[in-house]
Amino acid sequence: MGVLDEIIVGVREDLAVREASLPLRELMDAVAQLPPTLDPMPRFRAPELAVIAEVKRSSPSKGALAEIADPAALASEYAAGGAAAISVLTERRRFGGELADLVAVRQSVGVPVLRKDFMVADYQFYEARVAGADLVLLIAAALTDAELGRFLELSRHLMLTPLVEVHTPEETRRAVASGAALIGVNNRNLQTLDVNIAEFEKLASLIPADRIKVAESGILAVGDVERVASAGADVILVGEALVRSGDPRRAVADFTAAGTAARQR
C-alpha cells in the first residue's frame, strides 16, 4: 500500500465520525441558504502568474513545517501579498489541518479559498461548501473515471470550482477527457513522495491551451517559479516555501512578479 492509499484509509475513518455527528441532510439544508461562491477563474486566466498560497502545517514527506497558530492571520498576509487564492489543508492525520482552519480563513480574506483534502465522498463536498470553500481538489490517482465525472458534476452543482490534480501522462489524459478546466500537475508522486519539478514540464504539453495549468509541489525558490512559468504554468500552488519564508506577504509578491516576468519573455 502506497502513501496515498494509507492517507485515504484514515480520511475515510475520520469522515465516518463526522457523518455520524452531522448528517448529510443537515449539510444539504445549510448549503441551500448560502450565498454564491467566489470564482477564481478570471484571475487564473489573467496574463499575470497567479499564486495559490497554502496554509500548511506539516506534510508526510517533511513532517512539521510551521506551527501556524492563527491560519486567518497567515491567509491575510498571503492576500496582502497578492495571492489569487488561499489553499487550506484540512486533512488531520498527515497534514495537521482541520475544517475549522478553512472557516477561519474564509472569514478573514476576500479571495477564493480552496479546500485541499482527499475528496472521496459526496459528504466532503457539502462540508467544504458549508465551511466556506470556493474550490475543491480532486486527485485523479484516488478516483475512478466514474467518480471523477460525478465529483466534477457535484462540484459545479455546489458552485465549487474543481482543481483536478494529475501526476502521470495517463492521469493527465483522463483529466483532459473529463472536461476539467483547471488541471494541476503535482510534481510529487503521492505514493512514494518523491518530487521532481520536471514533471510539470513533461505533462504541461498534454494539457490543451484552453485549460488552466497549475504547477504544484517542489516550488521552493524564485528560480523554480520562473522554470514552471516558462513551461506554461498559469498558476502555482505553494505551501512549504511560504510558511517557512519568514515574510509570507513578500514571498507571495516576489513569486508573482518572477512568474509574471517569465511568462512574458
Q: Tell me which residues are annotated as active site.
A: 54, 56, 116, 165, 186, 216-217
Q: How far apart are the first and last CA of the chain?
A: 44
Neighbours of 24 (CB within 10 A): 13
Query: For 45-98, what is the HEC assignment?
Result: CCCCCEEEEEECCEECCCEECCCCCCHHHHHHHHHHCCCCEEEEECCCCCCCCC
Task: Show the cell assigned to 26.
Answer: 443537515
- Residue 146 to residues 103, 120, 140, 149, 151: CA-CA distances in angstroms? 30, 12, 11, 5, 9
Say if CB 148 and CB 178 are below 8 A apart: yes
What is the Cα–Cα distance from 259 to 241, expressed in whole angstroms? 15
Say if CB 149 and CB 178 are below 8 A apart: yes
What is the Cα–Cα distance from 197 to 258, expressed in whole angstroms? 17
SS3 at position 215: strand
Encode 198-230: b = buried (16+ Cβ within 10 Å), e = exposed: ebbbebbebbeeebbbbbbbbbeebebbbbbbe
